[in-house]
Structure formats: C-alpha cells, structure tokens
Amino acid sequence: MKVIVVISAVFLAAGMLAPCLYAQSSSRIEAERLFVEAQKSLARGDDGKAEAYLMKSLQHDDSFTSAIWQLSQIYEKRGQLEYARELLLRGLQKKPDATWARDKLARMEKTLTGKLLAEAEGLMTRGQYDQAIPKLSLYLGIKPYDPVPLVQIARCHLAMDNLDSAKEYLVQAAERDPSNTEVMLLLDEVERRSDRAEVEGALRRARATLASYTPETKGQTEKMLSDVLALDPENAWAREKLREIALLEEEEEEKQKPTPAEVAVTKGVAKGVEAIKTLEEPTSRVISVLRSNVLIVVLVVIAVLFALNLRRKAKSRSYPLQGSLSLLPVLDIVSLLNSTLKSGRLMVVSQSGRGEVFFEKGEIIHARLKSWDGKTAFHKIMSLRSGRYIFNNHLPSIRHTITEPLSLLLLSMKSRNEKQKKDPGKKPARQREEIFS
C-alpha cells in the first residue's frame, strides 16, 4: 500500500513540473533558433539584423550567455564600449568562471576609461566643463578607486567656481592617493579662492552700507569695515574709510559747538533778563512796564530767530561720502548712488578741474565739467581715473540737462568709446580738448 502511495506522488509531481520544463525548453529552443539566424546575418555582414535577432533571443531566454557574448562583440566592433561592457558584466553574472570574458572586460575598461578621459579633457580645453563632468563620472563608476577622475571633476568644479564641490572631490582624491602633490596644490587654491570670496562679499556689504551712510548707521558701517579688515588686514580701502568716518564724527562734534555769534546772543538775552529784574523804580512804573514789554518782545523775537536758524542748519546739514578714485572708481560710486536712490551732488576733483554730477532719486539729472555740461560732461567725468570725490546728500536747485536713465547713459558711453577706438583720429568738432593734460 505504501509503495502505491509513493509511486502516485512521483507521477503527480512529474505531471506538475512537466509544463514548466516544457516552457523553459521551448524558450531556450526559440532563443537558440534566433541565435543561429543572427550568426547567418553576421556571415552576410548584416550587423543590424544580427543585433535584432540577438535581442529577441535574450527576450526569450535572458540567461543565454552565447547571445550575450555575441551582442557584446557587435557593440565593441561599433565602438560602443559602454554597452559592450554592460553586456560582459551581465554575462559574468551568469557565468562567473568565464576567465576569458573577465580578461576581455579588463582590457575594454582600460580602453574605455582612456577614451572617456581624452573626451573629457578635450571638453575642458574648450571650456565645456559641465559636459566633461558626466564622462568623468562614468570613468569614476568604472574605476571608483582611481583618483584621476576625481581630480579632473574637481578641476571642472573649480573652473565653474563651485568651490564646495571641488573641495569634496579633492578630499576623496587625497584619501585614495595621500602623496599626490597636485591634489594638495588644488586644495590650497580652493582655500585661497574661498578666502577671497569672503573678502569680496564683505567688501560688497561695506560699500552698500557706505552708500547710505548717516550718523545713525555709523556703528553698522564701522562693523562692516572691521569685518573686511578681519578677513584682509592689509586692505587699505577699509582703513581709509574708517579714518574718514572718524573725521566726519569730529566735524559733527565741531558743528554741535555754539558759534561766537550764538554765544553773544545768549549773553545778550541773559543781560536783558537781569535788566528787567533791576527795573524797580516806583516813579517810572509805566515807563518800566513798557520798557519791560519791549524787551520781552525783543527777547522773544531773538529766541524765535535763533530757533529758526538752528532748524535751517539742521535741515541743510549733509552727510558726505568721500574718498579717492584710485581706491573706488567713479563708475562704482555712480552705480551705488543709483542703486540706493540717492539725491544730492557728487563732486570729483582731479588735475583736469572740478566736475559735478547731480542725482535725484538715484537718476542723473545734470552734470558739468569746465565748459561742458549735460551728457558730454558726464562722459568726461566717467573717464577720470585719479583724484578725490565727495558726495553730499543735499540737492540744490539745478536745471535738468539729462533725462535718460543711468543704463542708457552708460550704454551710449560704451558706444562712443567703441566708435573712438574704430576711428581714433577723428575728434568731435566742438570738443577737441582732452580731459587729461
């Protein structure tokens, strides 16, 4: 009885496995048939049709290594080494003991990495760093422990000012090759550029604060300039601006002191009050009262005039921004005043004389230099390279000779300069005198 049960179980299992075995066998048979057709196409020199047959063969049986090896060979022949390498890796997963395929893979990877490196270096030479990085990343994927692609990727990021990314790849390269002096030099370059970027950022913030300087922002401005000196102790521009702020503070303190005329008025008021207190003669009470009232009126008038004078001085007080054109070019000064919507007068003093540019809410409304005014004077002033400048935020009544915005003025100046470069011998009819003597 037990023998009958065992035999029945064997037949049942065989009946269940038979369809699966038949399906696998039929898939392999079809894959082999398609492989034979691919071989025939190759014999006829039709690589395209052979490729199609081999891909269909692998769709029927993806473990058919003969089709994998043959398709890899077709791609290698075409120069498509990336695809050929992927197929070799796929075949080695199926047959790890295929030493010939492993040796071929090593040779192919050496050729492929050399090709990728040459293509990437060519792109870097042409400045196409963003296109070189994917090729170097593919190289790195093939040889993850090779420092060469890491260094080249770092160079690309350094050229594109991606300092953090460049540093990250250089650190990885240093871990793989600690004795590589090129990596150490590039790391030093990244650090220098990072420090320079910090200094430039601090300078931009300091210039923006100086453009809107008032006594109320003195502390903030001094802090910005101190930050510049902390990053760059030899920065002459920041030191000069700190000295100028100190001088402005001294001038402000001097302005707060009373003038001799104000002291005299105060003494006169005090004497008048004392005179009123001493007018106590009973015989001339009416005259004394009248005189007292006259003195009081006079004192009130004096006090009102004094208050109005102080108010006028406070209203007309200006907070100048001044310095040397050798440290801050006139174009930077004009751009700062324009971007901060300042109103006032910018005066530039050089060997050629004194030039003035008038601003109203950031836009230039008038300029004058010697016998020139308007746009011509503005262009002449913008060409100055040495001298001193001072900006007062008090705008006097002035006629408007310029209506264009600053962007158009600079554009016209650029066109004028380009025209003069093309025809340097030609001079304007009315203005033959040069700015610099």
- 276 or 268, greater pLDDT: 268
pLDDT at residue 157 above 90?
A: yes
Confidence bin at 320 (pLDDT 50/70/90): low
pLDDT at residue 307 above 80?
A: no
- pLDDT of the residue at 264: 62
> CATH for 2-97?
1.25.40.10
- pLDDT of the residue at 425: 55
- pLDDT of the residue at 17: 44
Average pLDDT over residues 252-268: 66
Confidence bin at 265 (pLDDT 50/70/90): low
Q: Phi/psi of residue 425, each to 5°?
A: -80, -15
pLDDT at residue 14 above 50?
A: no
Q: What percent of the chain has pLDDT over 70?
A: 77
Average pLDDT over residues 411-435: 60
Domain ranges, ordered by start, for the chain: 2-97, 197-256, 260-316, 321-422
Average pLDDT over residues 291-295: 63
Q: Phi/psi of residue 94, each to 5°?
A: -80, -40
Dihedral sign from CA coordinates of 227, 228, 234, 237:
negative
Average pLDDT over residues 180-188: 89
- pLDDT of the residue at 238: 83
Contact 356, 347 (CB under 8 A): yes
- 432 or 42, greater pLDDT: 42
Q: Model pTM? A: 0.44
- pLDDT of the residue at 289: 54
| Inter-CA distances, 251 with 93, 191, 256, 260, 273, Å | 84, 42, 9, 17, 34
Per-residue burial over 275-312, b = 16 or more CB atoms within 10 Å of its CB, e = otherwise: ebeeeeeeeeeeebeeeeeebeeeeeeeeeeeeeeeee
Mean pLDDT, rounded, of the chain: 80
pLDDT at residue 385 above 80?
A: yes
- pLDDT of the residue at 436: 33
- pLDDT of the residue at 11: 47
pLDDT at residue 235 above 60?
A: yes
Give pLDDT tens digits for 92-131. Answer: 898 899 899 889 889 988 888 998 999 899 999 999 999 9
- pLDDT of the residue at 67: 87
Average pLDDT over residues 293-317: 66
Give pLDDT tens digits for 394-422. Answer: 888 888 999 999 888 888 887 777 776 66
- 355 or 232, greater pLDDT: 355
Average pLDDT over residues 218-247: 85
- pLDDT of the residue at 278: 59
Average pLDDT over residues 206-231: 83
Identify which of 253-257, 263-267, 307-311, 322-326 has the greatest average pLDDT: 322-326
Q: How far apart are CA 155 and CA 124, in angstroms?
A: 9
Per-residue burial over 374-390, b = 16 or more CB atoms within 10 Å of its CB, e = otherwise: bbbbbbbbbebeebebe
Q: Which has the closest alpha carbon to 435: 371, 374, 389, 391? A: 371
- pLDDT of the residue at 259: 63
Contact 195, 231 (CB under 8 A): yes
| Inter-CA distances, 247 with 156, 235, 251, 322, Å | 48, 19, 6, 11
Average pLDDT over residues 30-51: 89
Average pLDDT over residues 43-57: 90
- 174 or 432, greater pLDDT: 174
